[in-house]
Amino acid sequence: MNAKKYTAEAIGTFWLTFAGCGSAVLAAAFPQVGIGLLGVSFAFGLSVVTMAFAIGHISGCHLNPAVTVGLAAGGRFPAGQIVPYIIAQVIGAVLGAGLLYVIASGKAGFDLAGGFASNGYEDHSPGKYSLVACFVSEVAMTAIFLFIIMGATHGKAPAGFAPLAIGLALVLIHLVSIPVTNTSVNPARSTGPALFVGGWALQQLWLFWLAPLIGGVIGGVVYRWLSDEPAGIVAGNR
């Protein structure tokens, strides 16, 4: 049933947002034993690996509007399910950010002004990168992410290894781009924290929808052109 797919997507995106953003908010700079950029990068990747094994057989484990749109552009997903998938993903991300807020705000001195793992450009980029640099980074990183997803889930790819390839790709993407945008490549993940931060985070949220969606389409279309696609492979319907 489609309702089960949408529920799985909401749960999976909840986990990605809570675990990934939670690692940044709660653990990245924890006194003396902080996990740092490397740890946050692995947290995002592991959130995808764990959920891919848990719900991949139910919904395809997109957890990301850009992935859903990119897979549709690549001929792997029915266009008619794009909107409900995205709605489920955003709901899951908001719930994940909400749980993180409840936990994080329990510490004395907590302040949303710290960013709450939100994505940003210019003054709100971790490395103060320009709008153009951040836009290009998000498009490129998402395009490569979709290219890897399409390849790892191809019918001729080694069976059973797709979650690891996709999760490690997300780790690498974060290692490269956290200094630039705090790494989105996922509009739902960006929306959850931004709703709690408000102000600048909501004003800049447009980029973290537009750029990943463009990148997702590019990655999906390029891989579809490059590869002979076996019939019958539709992410989310496997």
Average pLDDT of the chain? 93
- 176/123 Cα distance (integer angstroms): 19
Are 128 and 52 in contact by the 8 Å Cβ rule? The answer is: no
Residue 215 confidence (pLDDT):
98
> What residues contact 145, with CB distance under 8 A and at least 6 apart?
66, 67, 169, 170, 173, 185, 215, 216, 219
DSSP assigned state of 115: -
Q: Is the pLDDT of residue 44 over 70?
A: yes
Of 188 and 156, more confident: 188
| Confidence band of 18 (pLDDT split at 50, 70, 90) | very high
Are 116 and 190 in contact by the 8 Å Cβ rule? The answer is: no
| Confidence band of 235 (pLDDT split at 50, 70, 90) | very low
Q: Percent of the chain beyond pLDDT 70?
A: 94
- 189/66 Cα distance (integer angstroms): 11
List of long-range contacts for 79-85, beta carbons under 8 Å, 24+ apart = 81/2, 81/5, 81/236, 84/2, 84/6, 85/5, 85/6, 85/9, 85/59, 85/236
Q: Express each pLDDT in 46-56 by its tens digit.
A: 999 999 999 99
Sign for the pseudo-dihedral over CA of 123, 196, 17, 2: negative
Q: What homologous superfamily does CATH list for 2-226? A: Glycerol uptake facilitator protein. (1.20.1080.10)
**What is the pTM for the complete model shown?**
0.93
Picking from 35-39, 96-100, 135-139, 154-158, which range would have the lowest pLDDT averaged per residue? 154-158
| Confidence band of 114 (pLDDT split at 50, 70, 90) | confident
Task: Please state the rounded mean pLDDT for residues 133-160.
Answer: 95
